[in-house]
Amino acid sequence: MNPADFFAIQGRRRFLKRTACGLGMIALAELLHREGRTGEAAPRSDPARPKPPHFPSPAKNVIFLFMAGGPSQLDLFDPKPVMKKLHGEPVPESFLKTLDDALIRGSARVMASPRTFKKYGQCGMDFSDFLPRLATCADDLCMVRSLVSHLSNHDPAQLLMNCGTPLYGHPSMGSWVTYGLGSESEDLPGFVVLLSNSGKGVDGGSALWSNGFLPSAYRGVTFRSSGDPILHLTSPKGVHTATQRARLAAIQDLNRIHEETTGDSEIASRIAAYELAYRMQAAAPELLDFSKESTATLESYGIHNDTTRWFGTNCLLARRMVERGVRFVQLYHSTWDDHSELNKHLRINTAMTDQPAAALIQDLKSRGLLDETLVIWGGEFGRTPMYEIRRGPGMDPEKAGRDHHPFGFTMLLAGGGIRGGQIVGQTDELGYNTVEDRIHVHDLQATILHCLGIDHTRLTYRHQGRDFRLTDVSGRLVHKLLV
């Protein structure tokens, strides 16, 4: 424990002893009320209390829309007219020189995108007809077309994108950020994860929002789409609200008595944890209550539409969370893993997500929150320019799909610290390899941290005798992306 933590707890303890007087019988709500009235700042003893960044920064919060499974950049963002000519032909030798991937077979044939593209915004950013809403945000978006991963299977590649390494047991980006900056919210966790999907669950699972070797207070807390949004947030059936508060007060008092007899300093942390738990029980319902949102806002997120409701609810929740000081919100939408029936599945996933994602950016912007919120849209890799060969022959994009492709894929960034209205990076005329501004996942991570005022080489944690960081031993700041 560092000295700051220690003093924070000490201060809290003294305060509690004075007000609760051992057998004080003061219900917690009253205690909290008193805190407000006396104006005495109760120092937060939790590990997620706010901490200053390494340097002043535009972005304070992150909303990462993680599109799990590998959305096809060639059918959404990166038009390749040459493919029309090569459709059905083998991939030219020249593109395969660097092919060393175990999964991507060189002998497949080119499949042109069946989509139509148009340029949007003053910057002239390309979007396919499947993303009409995000396209309207073109001038706020930075489209990065030259991302590179070195892994082509979902699990390791998703771990790399989220935790900086394909190995299990490392902290995810959200954990690193809340470890580095803490959270402004006293009533909600600093790192929240929201899930949605088009029928199948999220692959990769909880390792993607794990705290790894960081203290577990930095773990991503999954809000759920049904039942309790936070596990066990509501009282069990049969516990009347009238008795709830008294129960908590009794627990706290008994723990305080025990603390006095044993001197165990961990008890003070336990008491603080129960307080935050209590505040979460009160704050979360307010967070989840959309009744004060205008009809126009609800409509814009697609809350009233069956197709967009799930992802839209999560997007709106994300905005409400950053408004309330949550540091890092991550939405997972799956799955974009379109090995077959590319057209059909892309249509489903874009229909679910396009409108809400655009609404989120516009809503943040209109509330003046976009400047301090970094929004990220993207998955763990992209898809091949060739059709999928494993599922039998067929060039029909209604039946065929594309394979995993980590050598050049697209992501979108907007908001805090990012220069919108530009396209960065370029892939070759087939979309096979990156030819300009190659940006590795670690470079992206270094840049994201930079937007938050964090030097990625200095945000470290000592574990098993070594200093670890999100970007492992690499990562390069990509100045082109920044304001």
Partner 1 sequence: MKRAEWARSPIDRFILHRLEVEGLQPSPEAGRATIIRRVTLDLVGMPPSPAEVAAFLGDSRPDAYEQLVNRLLASPHYGEKWARPWLDLCHYADTDGYLTDQARPVAWRYRQWLVDALNRDLPFDQLTIEQLAGDLLPNPATEQRLATGFLRNTLSNREGGADLEEFRVEQVVDRTQMFATAWLGLTVGCARCHDHKHDPVCQREFYQLYAFFDSADEVNIDAPLPGELDPYLAKRPEYDRKRAELLKPLTEEIAELQALWERKLLEAAAQPGKDHVWDRQWEVLGLVWGGNLGEGQLEGTQIVRQEPSRRSKDQKERLLDYFLKNGAVTDPRRFQELKLDELSGKLEALKKELPRLTRAQTVRETPIPRETTVHLRGDFRSRGPRVTPGTPAFLPPLPEDAKPDRLSLARWLMAPENPLPARVEINRMWQEFFGRGLVLTSEDFGTHGERASHPELLDWLAVEFRERGWSMKAMQRLIATSAAYRQSSLARPDLAARDPNNAFLARQSSLRLSAEQIRDSALFVSGLLDARIGGPSVFPPQPENVAMEGFENKWTPSSGGDRYRRGLYNYLQRLSPFAHNVTFDAPPLSRSCARRERSNTPLQALALLNDPVFFEAAKALAARILREAPGDFSARLERAFLICLARPPTPRESERLRAYYDEQLAILRRDSAVLAAAPLAGGNGLDPAEASAWTCLGSVLLNLHPFITRE
Of 86-115, binders to partner 1 (CB under 8 A) are 100, 102-103, 105-107
What is the closest distance, in whole angstroms, from the C-beta atom of residue 259 to partner 1 in the complex?
8
Strand 125-128 versus strand 117-120 pairing type: antiparallel
Q: How far is CA 395 from CA 114, 343, 371, 398, 448, in A?
A: 11, 12, 44, 9, 39
**Rule CB under 8 A: is residue 224 a binding residue for partner 1?**
yes
Figure out which of the listed residues 234, 304, 398, 474 binds partner 1, where binding follows CB under 8 A.
234
- Name which of residues 463 to 482 contact partner 1 (CB under 8 A): 464-466
> Where are the extended beta strands (E) located within 199-327?
221-223
Of the listed pieces 300-308, 360-368, 434-442, 461-469, which binds partner 1 according to CB under 8 A? 461-469
Give residues 339-398 in contact with partner 1 (rule: CB under 8 A). Answer: 339, 389-390
Closest by CA to 475, choosing from 446, 438, 439, 433, is 446
The SS3 assignment for 168 reads coil
Closest CA to 212 of 464, 480, 397: 464
Q: Are 329 and 223 in contact (CB under 8 A)?
A: no
**Smallest separation, CB 392 to partner 1 (Å):** 8
Token reading at 320: 């409400």
Q: What is the Cα gyration radius of the chain? A: 24
Could you say which residues in the range 125-164 bind partner 1, by CB under 8 A? 153-155
CA pair distance 334, 210, nearest whole angstrom: 18
Q: In the complex with partner 1, which residue's Cβ is closer, 2 or 291?
A: 2
Burial class (CB in 10 A: 0-12, 13-18, 19+), 242: exposed
The distance of closest approach from Cβ of residue 183 to partner 1 in the complex, given in angstroms and rounded to an integer, is 12
Site for partner 1 in 302-321 (CB under 8 A): none
Report in angstroms the alpha-carbon separations of 205 from 51, 182, 201.
29, 24, 9
* Residues in Cβ contact with 227 at an 8 Å cutoff, skipping those fewer than 6 apart: none
Q: Which residues contact 247 (CB under 8 A, 6 or more apart)?
A: 239
217 binds partner 1 (CB under 8 A): yes
Of 217 and 448, nearer to partner 1 (C-beta) is 217
Rounded Cα gap, residues 231 and 324, in angstroms: 20
Q: How far apart are CA 66 and CA 414, in angstroms?
A: 14
14 is a contact residue toward partner 1 (CB under 8 A): no
CB of 201 to partner 1, least distance (A): 5
Q: Which is nearer to partner 1, 39 or 199 (CB)?
A: 199
Binding mask 18-57 toward partner 1 (x if CB under 8 A, else -) reads ----xx-x--------------------x-----------
Query: Which of positions 257-296 make contact with partner 1 (CB under 8 A)?
Result: 257-259, 261-267, 269-270, 273-274, 276-278, 280-281
Q: Which is nearer to partner 1, 80 or 404 (CB)?
A: 404
**Site size with partner 1, rule: CB under 8 A:** 87
Closest distance of CB 217 from partner 1, Å: 5
Stretch that binds partner 1, among 53-61, 200-208, 288-296, 365-373 (CB under 8 A): 200-208
Amino acid at 288: L
Q: Please identify which residue in 38, 243, 366, 474 interacts with partner 1, judged by CB under 8 A.
A: 243
CB of 129 to partner 1, least distance (A): 29
Alpha-carbon span 329 to 220, nearest angstrom: 9
In the stretch 398-437, what mask flags binding to partner 1 with x, by CB under 8 A? -----xx---------------------------------
